[in-house]
Every structure is written in structure tokens, then in C-alpha cells.
Chain A
């Protein structure tokens, strides 16, 4: 996202993308819906990654949002797509509020492991819970919008596409504003050196917690969209390989640009659907090689392709003395 792009312009962009959905073929619509939903959760990971922490357990909030929405839909009959999205976001956010302050003290690998462990705890509990369908999960009905129900599958697909693209678009705009705000800049400072941030009078834990809760809200809403798109939920939502895919999108995107997250998510969905079609047993292989190449050649993600001029000003984390020593030894 360029420094000068005005929020109003971005809103126009979101509206244009939404209307563009009218001319897209049906199979692209559902693909784009999933891509937008994945972009939303990956955006959360990027928000969190700006504090230097990678969450390997966003599936926790993804599943919390999905199950929360599914249960409320089946018990109280809430089928409105926007309401479901809000419920998902609230479920994710509440869980994030509980877990965030506990986990903010950890960093680096331990942060990743703890989030992973928590999501696997939820996975284990969900698999064993017969009331929630165990490992098979359960189905939910087709979502409606503002009292309208959609019987034509194409219209229903477009509705879902529109809601998910608009939500993700607005989340992206919010994230852009966040990145430019004091909190966003403090997050980058926490990534660089959290001790110095503390000396400047900002609580690094608080910064991480806030970013964590934002990521959890995004993940919960994303879980709601995944549920609406599949109309089925199972514990796989919380499994760690699901979280891994979102991390993949986030790494591919890099932490500098919001637009890159959307591009990365769409790229993943395209690779996935075409590989599924032509090479069903090698698509993870393709993904893995792709991930390695990105880490090697584009260490700050595909976003760095179009933000070259800022790269010069913002140097990446300088290698620590130990890392330099390691390099010398090898």
C-alpha cells in the first residue's frame, strides 16, 4: 500500500472489486470468496507478525468463530450473513482477549509453539465432543442477507462473495490505518527491540496483546466466512496444518503491504485448485518449494516487489552478533 493512497480511494477500489464479481464466472466466485476469507485471517497474522511473533495457531480462532456461528445458527436460527460474520468476529475476539494477555509474554518460537498447542487442544476437544459431531462435524443452512434468502446458487455465491470481499476490504483499510498509526509503528518497534520500547514508556506486552486480539477478531470472522462457504464445519478448522496454510499466505505476502496479502491469498487458492485438478498428490510439494523460494529470494514477501523505495529507508532487522558469528563459522 503506497504511503499516499487515500482511504476513500481504497473504498472505491473495494466497491469496484465487488461489482467486478458480477461478470466473473461462478467457479471463480467461490474461489475468490475463499481467497478473501483466507486473506482476512492472513491479514491478522501479518498484523501480529509486525510485532515479530508468528502465530501457528490461528486455527484456534478460526475454529472458534466457525463453531460459534454454526452453533448459534443451528440453535437460534441466525442465518444472516453479516450477523454471522459479526458473531464469528466476536467469538474470535473474546477468545483472543482471554488468551492474548497470557501469551504476550512469550516471543519467537515459544509464541508460535504456544499458539499451536492451544489450537491443538481445541482440536482434541472438538474431535472427542460427540455433541458437536466429533471428527465429522455438522452442517449448517445456507446464509441469507437482510431477510432475503437466495435460492439461485449463483446469486447466493455472489452475495457471499460480496460480503466477504467488502469485509476483507474494510479490514484491509483498517489495517492500513493501523499500520500508519502510533500503535502500528510501536508494533514495528517491538519487533526490532522490545526492551527499548519498554524504556520509552510503552508496554510491549500491551502492544502485542492488542495486535493479538485484532488478529483473533479477523480470524474469527474468517472462520465465519469459511463456514458460510462450505456450509459444514469439522475439527479440521483447528488442526495445525490449517493454521500453517494461513501462515504460508502471510509469509508470502510479507509484513509491509496490505494489498500483498490479497494477492498472496488469491495466488494460493489458484495454485491449490489447479494443482488439485492436475497434480492431486503434489500440490503441497509445490507449496513447500514455493515457500522456500519466497523465504530465500523475497525475504520480505511479494509486497517488497512494489515497495522498493521504502526498503532503502527501512532496513530489516540487522543480524544479531550470534547470527553474524554463525555466518562466519559456516
Chain B
């Protein structure tokens, strides 16, 4: 029983940050009908910015909790600005073209961001582990977990609930849903679709970068981060159905569990079928 509990907890930890990334991707697709290949780059961007913020705070020998807050705030500010700039400055020019053209545009953005991160932060791995010890270790079901990992789960759930609530229970959210369902009609009802687009895209970028910031203390930041994350989030979004918040949650949990289960599964298969 313990064995399965371990998989479930590990899976939920994985799912928590994957869900935040996938949520951004699915929102951007739902509203703007763009499949954003550069989404993984925003994740990487968030992780790198977070690392810089954490290192700067640590250099002033402030407590890691300050670093944690500083990284979230700095990422939120920079990511929203980047998102707004990209949508208003670049994507806007291509809305009259094919969906596939927009796919290629985001691919170009991916290529550009890939090198921008290399130029700013270099190609060597960067670490920002200070906030990782923030919540200590927690004994749970006979195993020790890093508190930070467990804290990610409620954070992710809260973000998911906030987005769901915002979309379904507020006027702004209803307007966004209207744009998702029938954009032509919303235009004629006086909705300023271009504003919805800009905000939705910036919010998607924000979510991806926040996920990057939250995972930054757990991982090493190096080139290639973005291209791996985008594949995972594509998988999640497709499993859950493009453009669906609940689907993203289900997809993230499924992918998280599968990833967590594959580790002991491959170890077991090695016991059963020892390789020569």
C-alpha cells in the first residue's frame, strides 16, 4: 500500500507544476487559437529570472523566505510585461493569417528566446536551491518528503481554482468565455477582443513563468529546458482537450502519475527481466 501511496504523492508533486504550465498553454489556445510552441521558453525564462532573484537575495544574506517572495514577484512582473509586448508587438500582426502560420511564428519566438536566455544567463547550469529548504522535511506515510515539494500541491490547486473561479464566476471571465465560444458575436456585442487577447496571452505567459519560478529551486537551469517542458505540456493539454481548464488538471495528474509510476515500473521490470 505504501508503495502506491509513494507513487501517488510523487505523481501529485509532478502534476502540480505541470498543471500550471499546461493551464497557461490551454488558456492561450482557447482564447487566441494559438498553439504556442514558445510556451516552454516562458517556463525557462521564469526559472532563470527566479534563479537570478534568489541569488541576488541570498547575496545580501536575507532569509530564503524573502528570496521566495522576491522570485515570485519579479517573475510575475517581467513575465506579464514580456507577454503583453509579444502579443501587442508581434502576434497581432499575424491574426489574419492561417493558424499554421501562427504556429510557425511561435516557433520563431522559441528560437529567439532560446538564444536570449543563453546570452543573458550563459550555457552553464545555474542553481537556486535556497528556497528549497524553506519548508523543511516532512515525514509522511513512513517516508520523508521535502516540504517545498508538498507545498507546491496546494499552491497549484489554488491557482487552478482561482482560474476556474475567475472564468466561470466573474463578469470578466464570462467575457473571456464568450470570446472563446464565439468571437465574431462577442465583437458585435461590443467586447474589445484585442484587449482580451492581450490579457489572455500575458496571463498564459505568466502561468508558464510562475511554474518555472516555482520549480527553479528544484532543478538546474540549463539550455534545453524549454524544449522538454513544451512536449510534456503539449501531451497534458492534448490528453485533457485543448482549451479546457478541467482537462488540463486531469491531464496533468495523469501525466504526473505516469511519470512517477514509470520509475518503479522500470526498476521492477529490470528485476523481472534482468538485462544480460
In whole angstroms, what is the CA distance A299 to B104 when docked? 12
- Inside 8 A of A325's CB, which chain B residues have their CB? 183-184, 187
Q: Is the CB of B100 within 8 A of A296?
A: no
List of B residues within 8 angstroms of A296 by Cβ: 93
Q: Which residues of A contact B104 (CB under 8 A)?
A: 54, 247, 251, 291, 295
CA of A117 to CA of B93, assembled, Å: 28
Q: Which chain B positions have C-beta within 8 A of A240?
A: 227, 231
Is A117 a contact of B235 with CB atoms below 8 Å?
yes
Q: Are B238 and A117 in contact (CB under 8 A)?
A: yes
Assuming the contacts A281-B123, A287-B111, A329-B193, asked whether A108 and B100 have C-beta atoms less than 8 A apart, the reply is: yes
Query: Please, how many angstroms separate the alpha-carbon atoms of A275 and B122 in the complex?
Result: 17
Q: Is A283 among interface residues, defined by CB-CB distance under 8 A?
A: yes
A151 within 8 A of B: no
Partner of B231, one of A109, A120, A317, A322: A120
- Shortest CB-to-CB span from A244 to chain B, Å, is 6
Selected contact of A319 from candidates B35, B96, B194, CB within 8 Å: B96
Interchain CB contact under 8 A, B97 and A288: no
Name A296's closest neighbour in chain B (CB-CB): B93
Which bucket holds chain A's interface residue count?
A: 35 or more
Q: Which of B187, B234, B275 contacts A113 (CB 8 A)?
A: B234
Q: Which of chain A's residues has its CB closest to B34's CB? A: A109
| B100 partner residues in chain A, CB cutoff 8 A | 52-54, 108-109, 112
Residue in B112, B118, B187 whose Cβ sees the most chain A Cβ within 10 Å: B112
Q: Which of B92, B111, B194 has the most CB of A within 10 A?
A: B111
* Range for the number of chain B residues in contact with chain A: 35 or more
Assembly CA distance A120 to B90 (angstroms): 29
Interface of B is mostly: helix
Bound-state Cα–Cα, A244 to B105, Å: 12
B155 part of interface (Cβ distance < 8 Å):
no
Give per-residue flags for A291-322: 1 if the beta carbon is below 8 A from chain B beta carbons, else 0: 11001100100000000000000000101011
| In the complex, A323 has a CB within 8 A of chain B | yes
Pairwise interchain contact B115-A295, C-beta atoms closer than 8 A: no
**Cβ–Cβ contact A282 & B234, under 8 A:** no
Contact call B194/A330, Cβ cutoff below 8 A: yes
Instruction: Give the interface centre of B107, B115, B118 by most chain A CB atoms within 10 Å.
Output: B107
Set of chain A residues within 8 Å of B118, measured between Cβ atoms: 281-282
The one of B35, B92, B109, B110 in contact with A330, judged by C-beta atoms closer than 8 angstroms, is B92
Question: A284 at interface (Cβ–Cβ under 8 A)?
Answer: yes
User: Bound state CA distance, A289 and B110, in angstroms?
Assistant: 11
B195 to chain A, nearest CB (A): 10
Interface flag for A327 (CB, 8 Å): yes
Q: Are A299 and B97 closer than 8 Å at their CB atoms?
A: yes
CB pair B99–A327 under 8 Å, yes or no, is: no
User: Given A130-B275, A241-B227, A329 and B187 touching (CB < 8 A)?
Assistant: yes
Do A327 and B96 have beta carbons less than 8 Å apart? yes
Q: Are B112 and A284 in contact (CB under 8 A)?
A: yes
User: How far is it, in angstroms, between the C-alpha of A323 and the C-alpha of B101 when the chains are bound?
Assistant: 13
User: B227 — which chain A residues lie within 8 A by C-beta?
Assistant: 239-241
Q: B115 near A284 (CB under 8 angstroms)?
A: yes
User: In residues 232-269 of chain B, which contact A (Cβ within 8 Å)?
Assistant: 234-235, 238
Known: A108-B99, A251-B104, A324-B96. 19 other contacts (CB 8 A): A109-B35, A109-B100, A113-B35, A117-B235, A240-B231, A241-B227, A247-B104, A281-B119, A282-B115, A284-B112, A284-B115, A288-B109, A295-B104, A295-B105, A325-B183, A326-B96, A326-B183, A330-B92, A330-B95
The 5 closest A-B pairs by CB, nearest first: A288-B111, A288-B112, A285-B115, A291-B108, A288-B108
